[in-house]
């Protein structure tokens, strides 16, 4: 049992850890920007519709 706990401690040591590689952000494509614009317009239209429906009551 002691050997198992010693082995666990050794395996969890920082010596076996790899360095963290920071991710590199990718540029957005024109297609992604187009669909984001469409989604933004749809969200604004939905919010206006909700505002209009609430104000009528």
Which domain covers residue 47, as residue numbers? 31-56
- Higher-pLDDT residue of 3, 22: 22
Mean local confidence (pLDDT), 18-42: 90
How many structural domains compose the chain? 1
Residue 11 belongs to some domain of the structure: no
Average pLDDT, the chain: 85
Mean local confidence (pLDDT), 19-45: 92
The CA distances from residue 22 to 13, 19, 25, 28, in Å, are 22, 9, 9, 19
The pLDDT assigned to 35 comes to 96
At residue 1, does pLDDT exceed 70?
A: yes
36: Cβ contacts below 8 Å, ≥ 6 apart: 28
């Amino acid at each position: 049992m002691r050997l198992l706990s010693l082995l666990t401690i050794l395996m969890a040591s920082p010596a076996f850890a790899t360095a963290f590689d920071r991710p590199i952000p990718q540029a957005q494509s024109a297609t992604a920007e187009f669909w984001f614009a469409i989604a933004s317009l749809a969200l604004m239209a939905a919010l206006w519709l909700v505002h209009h429906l609430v104000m009528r009551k």
